[in-house]
Amino acid sequence: MRVTRMETTDLQRVRSDFPALENYTWFQNGGVSITPRPVAEFHAGLMDELLQRGPMHIVYPDEEYPRRERSLVRLAEFFGVSSSTLAVMRGVSEAFLTVLRGLDWQPGDEIVVSADEEAALLLPVLALRDQQGIVVRKLELVDGSTDQQVAALESCLGERTRLVAFSHVTTDLGYRLPAAELCETVRRHGAMSFVDMAHSCGVLPIDLAETGCDFAGLLSYKWMYSPYAAGLLYVNPGRIGELAVRFPGGRSESWLDFETDRFELHDSAERFQFGPWSWPLVHAWAAACDWLTSIGPLEISERTGWLTDRLKQGLQSIETVKLLTPGEFSRSAALVSMTLAGWTGEDLAATLRERWNMIVKPLPHTREGLRISVPFFLLEEEIDRLVEAVGELSACS
């Protein structure tokens, strides 16, 4: 058995932060996470502050505005960038739409997306195809070497390629794409890159600067264990001036003269944001960064790899199971997708909940099976019980 540094910590202490675990076995963190006690209590304290003291930015602006800056700085630190590169969003969808709106599209321009994207990235590019005549190309996912995945991308790139958008960890199949190498390939080609990090931030140590992407979308409520929902758009400093602000709103401006009707936008990524948002959710996200850091991003990643390896090995021992996620953790993350012969995803998920009190997501879209989320705080015996349950159902199919 491989030993991980997480095993030297008090795993039960971490699990005690999640009272919800007393109610079920949790394999659905990739939808919306359960929230740890310190983060939930911090958020609840902000709600109580609203009750007791009123709207902080109105009544106590000298307290609230510096707190907002501190929260953005903390989030930026967690992702290895300056807060000037981040714009507050409602989620990855809004972040991606902000990028699409900021580029000039002509009929025949090309966008590349991976072959395993969900609506946040796929739907906007299909709408752009129908409305403005762009061409959408699909990047094949390769369960192989980084060089093979880069070669697959190079085969998609053409003279009219403007943007390559992909999930760092794909939503349905759980492929981890080599983001830095793909972004470098895109840059050499003269195009721009957008990376959806919904399923990697909080699972893997992320340094956006080292990734080299032009744009990225980040989320609070999956693997960062913060309440639903807040998001961020990251804009590479070299691209801030190249992305147009089509529809600036209140808070995009550095200043606005109501008498002369003149204005100037922020010279940072703040120009792309307009409110209002729930700042308590942003503050809670920053608190979640502290919680994750107290455990250790590397330790979280290592234990996730160990648990998913255990799950994959167990599932592969069942003859009627087909794994859809790459076997190597270097090519995957916390999502493990599978099919079981003779079962629909909906029936399989419903049976696991009814008989074993396990919460698992059926695979959406065009496949029948399960997408199993593996948060780092699961116990080995919980992984083994899932494998045993699938084995028992396999015998019934």
Q: Say what the pLDDT of residue 80 is.
A: 98
The residues pairing with 322 across neighbouring beta strands, listed in sequence order, are 339
Q: Is the pLDDT of residue 158 over 60?
A: yes
The residues pairing with 373 across neighbouring beta strands, listed in sequence order, are 335
Percent of the chain having pLDDT more than 90?
94
**Per-residue tokens: 46:** 């902000």
| Banded pLDDT at 382 (limits 50, 70, 90) | very high
Mean pLDDT of the chain: 96
| Banded pLDDT at 1 (limits 50, 70, 90) | very low
Return the exposure string of 14-28: e unless at least 16 CB atoms fall within 10 Å of the residue's CB, then b. beebbeebeeebbbb
175-232 confidence digits (pLDDT tens): 999 999 999 999 999 999 999 999 999 999 999 999 999 999 999 999 999 999 999 9
Task: Give the mean model confidence (pLDDT) for residues 76-103.
Answer: 98
Task: Give the mean model confidence (pLDDT) for residues 161-174.
Answer: 98
Q: Is the pLDDT of residue 3 over 60?
A: no
**Per-residue tokens: 11:** 């795993």
**Per-residue tokens: 370:** 């399960």
Contact 134, 271 (CB under 8 A): no
Task: Give the mean model confidence (pLDDT) for residues 308-315.
Answer: 99
Q: Is the pLDDT of residue 13 over 80?
A: yes
Contact 299, 9 (CB under 8 A): yes
Q: Say what the pLDDT of residue 275 is.
A: 80
Place of tokens 């090309």: 110
Residue 169 DSSP class: B
Contact 87, 266 (CB under 8 A): no
Nearest 5°: phi and psi at 80?
Answer: 75, 30
Closest alpha carbon to 241 in 265, 277, 213: 265
Task: Give the mean model confidence (pLDDT) for residues 27-55.
Answer: 99
Task: Give the mean model confidence (pLDDT) for residues 388-393.
Answer: 98
**35-44, 78-87, 225-234, 244-253 — which is least confidently predicted?**
244-253
Q: Is the dihedral of CA 271, 272, 276, 281 positive or negative?
A: negative
Task: Give the mean model confidence (pLDDT) for residues 353-365.
Answer: 96
Contact 217, 196 (CB under 8 A): yes
**Per-residue tokens: 73:** 């700085």
239-288 confidence digits (pLDDT tens): 999 999 998 999 999 999 999 999 999 999 999 998 888 999 999 999 99
Task: Give the mean model confidence (pLDDT) for residues 374-382.
Answer: 98
Task: Give the mean model confidence (pLDDT) for residues 296-315.
Answer: 98
| Banded pLDDT at 5 (limits 50, 70, 90) | low
Instruction: Give the separation between CA 21 and CA 275, rounded to whole angstroms.
Output: 35
Q: Estimate the share of the chain in helix, then strand, then coil, as percent rounded to the nearest 5.
A: 45, 20, 35
Q: Say what the pLDDT of residue 32 is.
A: 98
Give, in degrees to the nearest 5, the angle at Cα 366 between 363 and 368: 45
Nearest 5°: phi and psi at 361?
Answer: -95, 130
β pairing state of 86-89 and 231-235: antiparallel
Q: Is the pLDDT of residue 392 over 70?
A: yes
Instruction: Give the separation between CA 30 and CA 35, rounded to whole angstroms.
Output: 13
Instruction: Give the separation between CA 34 and CA 11, rounded to whole angstroms.
Output: 16
**Gyration radius of the chain's alpha carbons:** 22
Instruction: Report pTM.
Output: 0.96
Place of tokens 């590019």: 125
Catalogue all structural domains in the chain, each as residue range(s) with its CATH number. Answer: 5-30+296-396 (3.90.1150.10), 42-293 (3.40.640.10)
Q: What is the DSSP string of 185-204?
A: HHHHHT-EEEEE-TTTBTTB
CA atoms within 13 A on the CB side of 331: 15
Instruction: Give the separation between CA 303 and CA 195, rounded to whole angstroms.
Output: 24
Count of beta carbons in the 10 Å neighbourhood of residue 350 = 13
Q: Say what the pLDDT of residue 7 is.
A: 63
**6-20, 52-66, 311-325, 370-384 — which is least confidently predicted?**
6-20
Q: Is the pLDDT of residue 292 over 90?
A: yes
**Which run of H or E residues covers position 203?**
none
Percent of the chain having pLDDT more than 70?
97
